[in-house]
Chains A and B, each alone.
Chain A
Amino acid sequence: MSLKLKKENIDEAVRTIMELGGKGILNCVQCGACSAVCPGVKAGFPVLCRLLIKKLTTGQLEEIIEEPSSWGCQACNRCTEVCPQGVRPQEVVFAFRRYQANEMAISTSTTTSQMNFYETGHAVYTESSKELRKQVGLPEAPPTTVSDAQGLKEIQTLLENSPMGELGFF
């Protein structure tokens, strides 16, 4: 069965990805150099790099909205380094991830990070770090937003005024 391509679907998918940061998507010639070096593809996440771009440039943006592969992307940029066409495939993967996130098709693993980020200014934070820090001879809090109320207020203001503020994490 051949895939029937609808021009309006293709245009919409490509426009969405470009607006979300994947500016080079139309340069892709499907050579597969990106997938050949991708640790995500090697680990078994199928819809990354070449295949993700193929699906997007054939207008399948909505059909793959629940696809978890993009959340397995390491953002390592091996793909960007080897791409002979200047696609910057990792930017396309993250643009697609942003599309998924804004439709709430997110990996559950991100929820705690967002809450930590808003509450402390750090995606990774644990109370037990205070003891660890003292144990190695450091003050119990580093000089970051965890010990700087003004700095924390600034980051909370930025988050509240970003589209992330509307997603209900914090």
Chain B
Amino acid sequence: MEKFGLFLGCNIPFKAPDIEQSFRQVFPVLGVEPVDIEGATCCPAWGTAPSFDLTSWCAISGRNIALAEEKGMDLMTGCNSCFGVLSEAKHFLEDKERRAGANKLLEKVGREYKGTSDIYHVTHVLHRTIGTDRIRESVKFNLEGMRFATQAGCHQLWPSDVYKVSEENPFFPTMLNELVEATGASAPHYSRAEACCGMGGMRSTDVEKSLKIFKDKLLSIKEETDPDAVVTTCSSCFLQFDQAQKMLRDKGEIDFEIPVLYYTQLLALAMGFDPSQVAAVSTTDRAAVIAEIQNPARQAN
């Protein structure tokens, strides 16, 4: 079984642990063993070390990568921010002077960044290592007739030159759509598919601006695809779609709500795993879509 160091980040283990549980249940069935990286930290998030000091950022990201290097593994993360931050840190650590500076700091804690481990997103492992055929064979419920709007999220698309795997056209991403379609469901394109959800620095700096961007995107999804749920592979996008819809409803700006699932939650449900473990924590109600996914009539013989 192929092994990947599981880099959890912060959002998933502390705000949406049902996503973490979906990783732990889904991957071994698909032939991939997620291995814990003991003592890992925040990637560090864009608003922390990267906003203050480049070498400190590289040392902290470098330490996280070094923990996987010590196990002889590549890293897999389901958080787009972590994927972007760690991949960008690797890009900066290619600079010899920068690497020497980061390693000098790392000497104080007995670590060394060597650059031998690569950073993969959960999407990449599902799409490239496991493949859509194996996913298609693993589902117990066929989701034919269901429709999902996909949200890949910024930090697994750009800048494509620092990522180990990138989309053929990062302004027209297709990997997540193909993963959704492997469950039998459809994943129709909509005009703002690659648009920003407004989470991140924008949301913490100016909520109103963030909501404006989010509303544009949400209305595009609603009007163009009217989906059963939004499916994302970014934990930040997940939290924004899940929580900001309530904010817009409370302000009277929208009169509908669309449930939100992280892709491995959709997959875990389609594989028959227990919703109280793999899809249990949300602001926007998901009960109806979960019941429809696990509708006994969808079960293959």
A81 touches B159 (CB 8 A): yes
Interface residues of B in 275-292 (CB under 8 A from A): 276-278, 280-281
Contact with A along B42-81 (1 / 0, CB 8 A): 1011111111111110011001000000000000000000
B205–A163 CB distance below 8 A: no
A151 touches B205 (CB 8 A): no
Residues B84 and A77 in contact, CB atoms below 8 Å apart: yes
Decide if A144 touches B51 in the complex (CB within 8 Å): no
* B130 beta carbon closer than 8 Å to chain A: no
Tell me the nearest residue of chain A to B166, going by C-beta: A81
A125 B202 Cβ-Cβ under 8 A: no
A154 on interface, CB distance cutoff 8 Å = yes
CB-CB nearest in chain A for B62? A158
Q: CB distance B36 to A143 under 8 Å?
A: yes
Q: Is A85 an interface residue (CB 8 A)?
A: no
Q: Do A97 and B44 touch across chains, with their CB atoms under 8 A apart?
A: no
B109 at the binding interface (Cβ < 8 Å): yes
Q: How many chain B residues touch the partner (CB < 8 A)?
A: 69
Minimum CB–CB distance from B12 to chain A (whole Å) comes to 9
Q: Which of A39, A94, A157 contacts B51, CB < 8 Å?
A: A94
- The reply to whether the CB of B18 lies closer than 8 angstroms to some CB of chain A is yes
A132 to B11, CA, bound (A): 13
B92 contacts across to A, CB distance below 8 A: 21
Contact with B along A131-170 (1 / 0, CB 8 A): 0110111100011110010111111011101111001000
Which residues of A sit under 8 angstroms from B11, Cβ to Cβ?
124
Identify the interface centre among A75, A94, A138, A151: most chain B CB within 10 Å of its CB.
Answer: A75
Docked complex Cα distance between A164 and B56 (Å): 8
Q: A71-B205, A75-B200, A78-B154 are in contact. Are A157 and B44 (CB under 8 A)?
A: no
Size range of the interface on A? 35 or more
A80:B45 contact, CB within 8 angstroms: no
Q: Is there contact, CB below 8 Å, between B48 and A114?
A: yes
**Are B108 and A161 in contact, with the CB atoms below 8 A?**
yes
Known: A98-B53, A107-B205. A76 touches B154 (CB 8 A): yes
Q: A72-B209, A123-B44 are in contact. Are A98 and B54 (CB under 8 A)?
A: yes
Which residues of chain B from 67 to 118 have any CB-CB distance to chain A below 8 Å in the complex?
A: 84, 92, 105-106, 108-111
Jot down 28 A-B pairs with beta carbons below 8 A, ordered by A: A42-B213, A43-B209, A43-B213, A71-B204, A72-B206, A72-B209, A75-B154, A76-B155, A77-B154, A78-B154, A80-B159, A102-B52, A109-B47, A110-B51, A110-B204, A113-B45, A122-B10, A122-B14, A123-B45, A124-B11, A132-B14, A142-B13, A143-B36, A144-B41, A148-B39, A158-B105, A158-B108, A164-B52
In the complex, besides A109-B204, A122-B42, A143-B39, 5 extra interface pairs with C-beta distance below 8 angstroms are A43-B206, A90-B159, A107-B204, A138-B17, A144-B13
The 5 lowest CB-CB distance pairs between A and B, nearest first, are: A151-B39, A162-B56, A39-B196, A76-B154, A124-B10
B-side interface residues toward A, CB under 8 Å?
Answer: 8, 10-11, 13-15, 17-18, 20-21, 24, 36-42, 44-56, 59-60, 63, 84, 92, 105-106, 108-111, 154-155, 157-160, 170-171, 195-196, 198-202, 204-206, 209-210, 212-213, 276-278, 280-281
